[in-house]
Chain A
């Protein structure tokens, strides 16, 4: 009797590689090998993974059309099998795959639209946290407020794109009238988060992505504003701070000790 490990290794190899012969000992009721019976498992694995990618990337599915999407997802899934039984996490490699997938090289914005969909899914399943009431910051003296570090909601994701990826995503996800999009119109930065019940995706004003990224890196408001100002001279700290407090993506604020500045 072959060890179970050997039986399963051979079975798994034949699932991964359709060119391999079907595993020894896998038989029909008459004891004969039957390619089509084993093919049910190959098809189940492939179609369940394609379905999972399709559920996670509905805008890409609509942009590519069903047939092209499924072929693309089939190639992706064959080279990136899940590594966890928690399928909610599957498909994280799909945007990077799209970026280098030669047959779709003519659609350079696809990968960033996929990054927004991935950010949406991650935000959907992210931990709960209550937004900070803006009034809680009212008592902080103005001269100390600039030294504050803000903790952002664990669902916050930022997607930067040289393409109008957020507009493309929105037009292909919501029940909105399809309008022509000028790919040369410039890039968009998207903030994706779930501060309350539902996921929100919105465009960030110029400098916003750098500012939020700096806050997530643990920098103070001053440091984060400086970072944004370096590439975006019109950046206005008050406007941005008001904006992120209103959207509910800040969950805590704390004063950084002055002597730790510059770390």
Chain B
């Protein structure tokens, strides 16, 4: 057992045990343990096998900065064991090893396959034969061992939500800088949210002996009104919106100002066998001891380039770890920490570092030595130490990804030996380590400064708090220097692999190989080797890989630069980005009734509509022979009113509408400036100064915007109100339509009283309606518009009254057949952005002699003068073989037109349709060749309606 006695900052509750299984074996930990800490306490040291070579891997950072500790929890792969809390009954399994973690047969790829598996080997190896790639892919994927997904898609789905939050200041990071910033901003009066990825705010304070200060600051922040979100990593920066993943919710936080207090990430050293279990960052070793009361090892060696390793040595010594030696790469460091180490009797080796680790499944020892500028051990300086814990600290890099995503530029700082973000965009204030202020006092003051400035920019406070913090920050002494690390360090005889990236198993040799192959920039080598592309997104591999590229190319580190920062900064399930699906759907007020009638509902634009009720032929036949009813509530409907309403419509439509009599209807087409058809519909003059304008279902919004835009430009005395969703509309059509309606209204429905193209306000079954006698489907028909609140009621009344006539509700599909029999076009289907009225065979509706200038007039005049190039014609084909819509019309073997609509008409016993053809091929009675798939058919051109061309039935 590795559990220490109670530690002052420990997170575990020793009074509450937590039991779970790991690879089938029982594990007992305490509440507050992570999966990894509970396992570590029971002696587990190997947590996974590496991605490519299947080398044993253990805890490195205890922070989730590597893929080393990914495990499977039940049916969820990719769980970070070092950050995921252990809970009762968990079923944890290892990933990427078979048959077991201790003995993995794929380790052979490391022992035997190393020389044959350089970077990019599979790009070259598995390219031939191409047809075998699916097989290769399957094998490679299994070998890579990414865990086991749930079998069925349904079981993979889980609920995720979005939550939007607005605030004045968003503080990203809950370390001392972030907490100080949040407190400063909140005290100035700002609405502040602080997000932190750990289970509680405090950052490094929590495990560096300052946990009481951390908790006090957190309390102060809460008292000041800060909303603290823990376990909540920021994923990116999107023009001021920061997505934050917490639990199963993606919080979209929009703030006026941001404080980036994202801290720093400790960097490893690169040396042979630097991946052995037992090699840890100082952060990892101290966290295990301080937060989880674990003894990370019995015999430790420390190799450091700065103060962090020295602090770790003292902390580990304090909990009873035998620290055999501390190697400080800086030869002349002398400060309180070095004095304390020497006072504790720990051997301090100045100017030395680790050049090799040894062991098989776990660290057994290491070699320390002085090194030259290229990292090679100086002969005769090597000293060998037995140890089971090698703590390394290669300095830190700022966690600057979010700032870089926001637009800051990374610049290498030779004093701190890391890239610092510079020139952040306005509104983003860096604080703490990410601003180069790593020391506690400096971090706190820089946080206060950032928070106060951010609040001031939101018009809170007078700036005095910020000024005071700036002055205090200026007065602080310079921080302790860090020794520059070489790209990698080794002895002349070292043979083990030295890893730049533990996630992706990228070694120094891989990077050399990539550069030799010509991938000699950091961006190219990244893509070739996949360095920094693993789950930890380069947290501890970017700086080593940059150093390696610089070393091999001879460029400076600054010249080499870093890779582009991209979201997500923390890995999250895809469901996090998806959130809760929203698919807005419009439904008419009668929709529920139609569902009850077993309609087949499909999308039609943004509406859900009944396509049919199970028998398309019977529905169409009912309209021809008796009576049918269709819900056309989706039609766009607008009230256009005012003294200039008629004049306005004259300007918008190609025909004349201002002379329309009250109670009369006219069909119209809308065009754009180029004279192309954009929409169509009917216009009914309801009163002297008001019209009901209908549009296509899909065009309602666009027409409303079009009207409103021109009204604003012309400043006419006209109002437009969109009542599309407020009016139900049903079309009752068929030879029995009049008889049916006669049962529901006292209004005069005779041809004399209610003729074709009349629109009358009448009461039907007690409901005030605007009934319009029009006929899209070619039979005597009434389009009845009435309040949606009465939608279902009137639908029911019509159905009931129509029962004796054999009424059938009909859907969109029969309607499309019926309208095609009349050769009525559907704008958007039979026309496109190039179609004008003349070529669409609707020249009769263009009134070039109108008093008012109208939309597209000039272009239509030109089109009229020019004559038709193409034309829309009807066609018929004997038999029931229907060319699909989109089929080519072929002239001399070349495509020259296309079919826009086609159906089989039971009534006519023919296939019919509409097609665009070259004008010279569009003569009535001419022949067309239509090709679709492997078929070719000859069709006859038809001008006018296929059915009832004289409109006798319509007007009956």
Q: Do A and B come from one complex?
A: no
